[in-house]
Chain A
Amino acid sequence: MLATRSILKTVAQNPNARALAFKNVAGVPMGVRHFNATSSTKAQSPAAETEILRQQRKVRPVSPHIAIYQPQITWYLSALHRITGAALGGALYLGSIGYLASGMAVDTASIVSAAAAAPVAVKVLAKTTLAFPFVFHSLNGVRHLVWDAKKCLDIKSVYTTAYVVLGGSVAGSLYLASL
């Protein structure tokens, strides 16, 4: 019998149902997930056993991975590279499709005047926020191409180039924000 959630809920709300539903759980406390190996008299077809396995997998917890892995500049920068790339790429795709969808009615001049009217602090903040992903992704992209050329692959060079990229990104975005 499958220990699906509906059956477990019924059993939790009605303890008498437990003895009826689960004939072999005499000494096991409620709340312990209980999957017996089926004996030969109760063995089921392969399809039904797959079904049990499928049900188990649906409720099985996933062991923590991202949350417990030691923070390292290697995978942090790799994640940041992907996130900045997806954000910038998504922005370009959505912007182009929006331009098409608006019937090519968006005029550059209108955006320019709207941008010029904003307060200076907002403008500098917006420019820094937009510049950093772009500069970081470009510099880290060059770092990837260097790896593809089979250079700087030992761990020391990986860390050195990582710091160069981070420093260059900060400097580059500050420079761009000042324009």
Chain B
Amino acid sequence: MATTEENKPEEKPQGESYEEREKRMKREERGYAFGANHWNLERASAVALVPLISTQFVYGAHPVVDGLLGVVLPYHIYMGFDSCITDYIPKRVYPRGYKAAMWALKISFGLTLWGCYEFNTNDVGMTEAIQRIWTA
């Protein structure tokens, strides 16, 4: 009978049995294709960052590089935080905490994308800003 502190099921006052809970989680599992794509996208965003960041250091700021960075960098950070949440707030142990953390992450990701876009459009751009503050 493997129930833990946080996982009090809300449906029946009796609570679902261990077997029923395992069956429900098996139904809601994501398939292997999702896992493979997750891994590929994680590595793709990491690999894409290598030329983006090195061209900045070599050639300085450029609006296209800033725009791309404003998308790829938040996405890379999102993947990283996704792994952290999966490790430290596991769904099996804290179902509501996991859901809340993932929603907070997704909303932050959207807001960061918007914020980077606005900064790149209204202000000098991410690379130029860091360069100026650094050499001030």
Query: Footprint of B on A, CB under 8 Å?
Result: 46-47, 49-50, 53-54, 57-58, 82, 85-86, 88-89, 92-93, 95-97, 99-100, 104, 107-108, 111-113, 115-116, 123, 127, 138, 141-142, 144-145, 148, 176, 179
Contact = CB atoms under 8 A, between A and B. Distances in A.
Interface stretch (B23-31, B94-102, B112-120): B112-120
Contact of A112 (B47, B84, B133): B133
A82 B77 CA distance: 11
Contact of B118 (A57, A86, A100): A100
Contact of A46 (B1, B53, B84, B115): B1
Interface string B111-132: 1101110110011100011001
A123 B3 CA distance: 53
Nearest to B121: A104
Interface string B53-83: 1000000000000000000011001001100
Interface of B: 1, 3-5, 14-15, 43, 46-47, 49-50, 53, 73-74, 77, 80-81, 84, 108-109, 111-112, 114-116, 118-119, 122-124, 128-129, 132-136
B77 A92 contact: yes
Given A58-B5, A86-B81, 5 more contacts: A47-B14, A88-B77, A96-B112, A113-B136, A138-B53
- The interface residues of chain A, by DSSP majority, are classed as helix
Nearest to B116: A96
Contacts of A179: 134-135
Contacts of A115: 133, 136
Given A85-B80, A89-B81, A104 B111 contact: no
A107 B123 contact: yes
A99 B73 CA distance: 17
Contacts of B14: 47
A104 B114 CA distance: 11
8 contacts: A86-B80, A92-B74, A92-B77, A93-B112, A96-B115, A100-B111, A108-B124, A115-B133
Contacts of A82: 80, 84
B45 to A, nearest CB: 11
Contact of A93 (B53, B77, B129, B136): B77
A108 B123 contact: yes
B81 A97 contact: no
